[in-house]
Amino acid sequence: MRKSRLLLMVFMSMILAFTLPGIGQNMKASAATARTPIVFVHGLTGSDSNFLAIERYLRGEGWSREELFAIDLPSKAGNQLLNSAAISRFVDDVLRQTGHSKVHIVAHSMGGANSLYYILNRGGADKVDKLITLGGANRLTTSRAPSGVTVTSIYSTSDTIVSPVLSRLDGANNISVNLVTHIGLLFNSRVNALIKAALIE
């Protein structure tokens, strides 16, 4: 009797492990979400958890968990080919889950360059409505905002890791802030407000 009860408990634990969403995961939407879904793309040595503070802020501003998705890129060194392919697959999955035809991307650091590579070289221009970069190393991919995508580049004059020169793009809405570090762009209330404004404009 004790053995069968133990087996039942193990079986139920396995079911819960596969059916309940964990940290950094989203439950699949059963219908189209109210807002355009947002995909967060991290930079070098980063992870999907880098955007927890921004996600928390946006949830407080009315976005639901089912509208926020963060990718964990396969190349922590920023390999454009590997990461853009991963972004492509991830975006397609988000579109299937949410019922939308386009996403917004919020990218930090090298995530900006990887997202631009996806947009320019892997069909992302038809699937991305807005791209918002935070201290993006954008000019490692291109010097001009892609046609058909609204690009906002937010960068800091105090950034000692990615120069503002790398972040600014011709044709983008380039926004400079000061007294914010490169990593601080992920945790700053002024930057959060700028992200929200870029998403809803």
Residues with Cβ within 8 Å of 89's Cβ and at least 6 positions away in sequence, in order, are: none
Total residues belonging to the chain: 201
CA quadruple 44, 191, 146, 98: dihedral positive or negative?
positive
Q: Which of 84, 153, 156, 159 is catalytic?
A: 159
Q: Residue 164: count other Cβ atoms within 10 Å of its Cβ.
A: 16
Which residue, among 68, 77, 19, 18, has the nearest Cα to 46 in the 3D structure?
Answer: 77
Q: Which of 109, 115, 156, 167 is catalytic?
A: 109
Q: Give yes or no: 108 in active site.
A: no
> What is the spatial distance between Cα 56 and Cα 135, in angstroms, rounded to a whole number?
20
> What is the spatial distance between Cα 10 and Cα 17, in angstroms, rounded to a whole number?
11
Q: Which of 42, 100, 104, 182 is catalytic?
A: 182
Q: Give yes or no: 129 in active site.
A: no
Q: Give yes or no: 159 in active site.
A: yes
State the catalytic residues: 109, 159, 182
